[in-house]
Structure 1
């Protein structure tokens, strides 16, 4: 990297010194002997080269002198001024000389760039360490991005699965609820029908003559298991059954519900069909 900045500066400085020497010899050769013109040209180039060498020595020591830098820029401006003056006084080739008049200033600028590079240059070890740190940071960033992407993909997949399962459960629940509602609507219609009781009574009258049964369809709601004891002993009459149901129903305050009354009725050892027990409950209540 050092050669990339110092070689252009050296080459442009050498070209500028050769052009300055040639211009001074051609310009002053007509007025003074050519050895005198040669000495003047070498003096300008020598002064420029000496200040440049001293400036580079200070830079190598880590030092800087504004006076030396100013003298070097003065020699560069003098060289450029000589080239411009020669271009303005020359006949037939003024444009060509003006085209190269900026070379001394460009040479000084290149030396300035080279000096800035030297003040900020790092050793190969430091550059390798910096490259390693940067590569490690890039690796960590890439791993973090990959991890976040994987987590986002997993979360999206899980959410899609949960959403799909919830939708399926909701559809099945809705379908089941619709079917049950239709079934219970049918049962309710049958319960409310005026001919339902008569039809059931006409059927059971042939099986249980002399017993008037009241038929009721199942009721929608939770059910409690009840213990049904063995049906031993004589069947209770309607009056005795009504008396027992009334006694159990009003045994506590507030009065017991049908389920509680039925459970205590059967727990006490009494026996009666569910139809008769419910009929007695309705008559009492």
Structure 2
């Protein structure tokens, strides 16, 4: 029996011994006046013996990992008889009735302690298993602590990054505001110069000598000027569905693996082709359905 097991078995043994002694004494004192004392001793030993026999059998079954409800019921029956004898003696005693009544619960308490000891034995673990459990718990605590530290570090880094980005954004906003203010002042100065009559005559006199025929505030053009035709996507002929499908398939399969719709659409328009989003998506669905 291990040292830890004695913590539960010794109280049960001690209370059982006290209960048996009290039961035997009460039976002898109670029946000693009515029957010979030897008969009273036999009756008391019979109650204690039956209780002890059932208890021993219960312990044997528990050692084998078994359990029998009949034996347990018989053991509780003998315990109740012992308690009943003590209660009856306390109620009929002329003196010290309260003291006898106070110890009448000892047999039931002894049975309860044996029940607790049995539960302890069924749930007890070996030192190796306990060490393994402690190791697993410690490992879980370590992992949780590391995870908490990592989260705190990431939160601190993210906070620092956001602070830096916010500060940089504020600086950019200040520079943009300052630049906008300077530009607004420059445009205001130019507008005032343009509206001034003296400035207009001075500019006219200068530009008329340098570039005859140029009105004030028009930049002179050096060299020949040729009008450039403005390309209009709307004036270009629209692609037919077959041509559009062929272009979509060619661009989609231009790389391996095949491009996604977003990449295909980007390259389609970068190549100078024109099609509405609805037609382009319909062509993609037709091509992928065939594929």
Question: Could you state the TM-score of these two structures normalised by the residue count of structure 1?
Answer: 0.71
For residue 252 of structure 1, the aligned residue among 220, 227, 239 is 227
2: CA distance, partners of 1:62 / 1:40:
33
- Residue 234 of structure 1 is matched in structure 2 by none
Q: In the aligned structure 2, how far is the partner of 1:253 from the partner of 1:83?
A: 123
Cα deviation for residue 214 of structure 1 reads: 6.7
1:39 Cα deviation from its structure 2 partner: 2.0
CA contact (8 A) 1:29 1:37 kept: yes
Q: For 1:125 and 1:198, how far apart are their aligned partners in 2?
A: 106
Q: Determine which structure has more spread, i.e. the larger CA radius of gyration.
A: 1
* Alignment correspondent of 1:275: none
> Secondary structure of 1:30's partner?
coil
Distance in 1, Cα, partners of 2:171 & 2:204: 45
What root-mean-square deviation, in Å, do the aligned CA atoms of Structure 1 and Structure 2 show?
Answer: 2.7
Q: Are residue 72 (structure 1) and residue 75 (structure 2) matched?
A: yes
Q: CA deviation at 1:254?
A: 5.1
What is aligned with 2:112?
109
Match of 1:136 among 129, 134, 139: 139
Q: For residues 1-285 of structure 1, what are the structure 2 equivalents within 5 Å?
A: 1-199=4-202, 216=217, 248-249=224-225, 251-252=226-227
The alignment's TM-score, normalised by the length of structure 2, stands at: 0.70
How many residue pairs get aligned? The number is: 224
Q: C-alpha distance in 1, partners of 2:155/2:229? A: 60
1:94 offset after TM fit, Å? 2.1
Deviations 1:230-250 (A, max 9, x none): xxxxxxxxxxxxxxx7xx44x
Do the aligned partners of residues 30 and 110 (structure 1) sit closer, same or farther apart at CA in structure 2, a change above 3 Å counting?
same
